[in-house]
Amino acid sequence: MSEKRKFQAIKGTRDLLPPDTELWNRVEQTARQVFTTYGFGEIRPPIFEPTELFARSIGLDTDVVSKEMYTFADRDETSVSLRPEATASVCRAYIEHGMHALPQPVRLFYTGPMFRRERPQKGRYRQFYQIGAEIIEALQQGQGGSKDIPKDAAIDAELLEMLMAFFARLELHSVQLEINSIGDRNCRPKYVELLRAELLKVKDQLGQDSQRRIDTNPLRVLDSKLESEQAIIATLPRISDHLCADCAAHYAELKRQLDLRGVTYKENWRLVRGLDYYMRTTFEITAQGLGSQNAVCGGGRYDGLVELLGGQPAKGIGFAIGEDRLILSLQEAGKADVPKGRDVYIAWMGATAQATAIRIAKVLRENGFRVELPPVEQKFGKTLGQADKLGSRYALILGEDEIASGQWTLKTLADGSQTKFTEPQLLDFLRG
């Protein structure tokens, strides 16, 4: 006897099902609407790319690249990885399609699954979904340097304004934007050395992870959530006191631009982000009801990344929203309403009534109503019970009497009331 195997979704992955998927679609639709009004076009990059693309952009010492990627050898032995994020892919596509020749900056958004082999928990999955956007601008001759600061900061601020407009459109009001500047290749290395020196002095008091990071990436120690390290971290030097003149000017201008746009934010000097490509502006958005995985969006500026990947010098800034977490947060906030059930259930009896039922079902569907048409005749009692179970708003009753008189009965299931309509009256009524 062959053993019956019960298949289950792989740990950290899950099926998204109706009616939840209606909410997912509403969220993605809202993103499309809002982002389009800010001049963004959609890009759909592939789900796997050469491993080297991610290693080079995100950084070899990051958790994402060193521990979390799904990497495999393709048949020709090239190492490929499922994308853990999409910024690297967007930059690759920008270079590959010569987008530096388009009017700059180029604004692109994407939605889709990402893959990271993290420990699954609430709000953390191995296949998760992001809604992201990137603004990339090739540097023209004579561009760059201090004189670009007002423009760059305005681009950052407009991106953040758009993000907050998106959350507002979803009526998710509990979100908090946190911003920081992590300097650039001028000032950050000096700050990192200072931080490393200070961390070495207190090494014994730090946990294992942070001790390791003193070597590999001292900035990440600032990210630590370990209770015992918090008092020590509070005494560490802050990057805002060590920014070079250009980075300080950029950060000040960003804050001024955010104020100008009425975007509220909180400064968080410990916000360093876990990917290597960032410089200057970094930000995160937290939402309520998510427990420890409360970052619903992260992003920042990544001037230089396109060049690092072999393109012309370019600037960039972008973000990615964790859609799984956003959905959880909307559900917790009671903002997850989606239409449930059917609008109209057609309870028909008799061969003549079936022909009318088929025709009217088509008309109603063409008008955008969700219609349930039972495939075979059923007793009225049973069919109305079914209409109820499906959460239908109305039952349209079509029996021989209704067909003969041309007066159809519409029953409102919530209160059991019934009204007679002719076909045109019915359509007028339903269309409101």
Other Cβ atoms closer than 10 A to 174? 15
- Distance, in Å, from the CA atom of 91 to the CA atom of 308, rounded to the nearest integer, reads 10
Segment contacting ligand HAM by CB under 6 A, of 127-135, 188-196, 396-404, 423-431: 127-135
Rounded least distance, CB 299 to ligand HAM, Å: 4
322 is a contact residue toward ligand HAM (CB under 6 A): yes
118 versus 401: smaller Cβ distance to ligand HAM: 118
51 versus 130: smaller Cβ distance to ligand HAM: 130
Q: Which of 24, 128, 167, 408 binds ligand HAM (CB under 6 A)?
A: 128
Q: Detail the DSSP E strand segments found in 196-278.
A: 266-267
Amino acid at the residue 48: F
Segment contacting ligand HAM by CB under 6 A, of 138-146, 242-250, 296-304, 410-418: 296-304
Stretch (H or E) spanning 136:
strand 127-138
- Footprint (CB under 6 A) of ligand HAM, residues 68-87: 85, 87
Which token pair is 283? 């930000």
127 versus 143: smaller Cβ distance to ligand HAM: 127
Which token pair is 138? 């090739």
Spatial strand order in the sheet of 71-73: 48-50, 79-82, 71-73
- Distance, in Å, from the CA atom of 414 to the CA atom of 341, rounded to the nearest integer, reads 13
283 is a contact residue toward ligand HAM (CB under 6 A): no
Q: Which of 124, 213, 220, 393 binds ligand HAM (CB under 6 A)?
A: 124
- Footprint (CB under 6 A) of ligand HAM, residues 259-278: 275
Q: 296 has which bridge partners?
A: none
Q: Which of 28, 61, 118, 209 binds ligand HAM (CB under 6 A)?
A: 118
125 versus 408: smaller Cβ distance to ligand HAM: 125
Closest among 34, 273, 274 to 159, alpha carbons compared? 34
Question: What phi, psi does 221 have (nearest 5°)?
Answer: -60, -35
178 versus 253: smaller Cβ distance to ligand HAM: 178
319 versus 408: smaller Cβ distance to ligand HAM: 319
Q: Which long-range contacts (CB under 8 A, 24 or more apart) does 210-218 make?
A: 216/61, 217/61, 217/62, 218/192
Amino acid at the residue 33: Q
116 is a contact residue toward ligand HAM (CB under 6 A): yes
Name every residue whose Cβ is closer than 8 Å to that of residue 115 and which is 6 or more positions away in sequence: 47, 69, 70, 82, 83, 84, 126, 127
Q: Which of 92, 220, 315, 325 binds ligand HAM (CB under 6 A)?
A: 325
Rounded least distance, CB 425 to ligand HAM, Å: 50
- Distance, in Å, from the CA atom of 431 to the CA atom of 160, rounded to the nearest integer, reads 38
Rounded least distance, CB 57 to ligand HAM, Å: 9
Rounded least distance, CB 127 to ligand HAM, Å: 8
Rounded least distance, CB 84 to ligand HAM, Å: 7
Any idea what the Cα angle at residue 261 is, between residues 260 and 267, rounded to 5°? 80
Q: Which of 137, 303, 324, 402 binds ligand HAM (CB under 6 A)?
A: 324
Segment contacting ligand HAM by CB under 6 A, of 194-202, 252-260, 299-307, 373-381: 299-307
Stretch (H or E) spanning 114:
strand 106-115
112 versus 341: smaller Cβ distance to ligand HAM: 112
Rounded least distance, CB 85 to ligand HAM, Å: 3
- Distance, in Å, from the CA atom of 361 to the CA atom of 153, rounded to the nearest integer, reads 55
Residues near ligand HAM (CB under 6 A) = 85, 87, 116, 118, 123-125, 128, 130, 132, 134, 275, 295-300, 302, 318-320, 322, 324-325
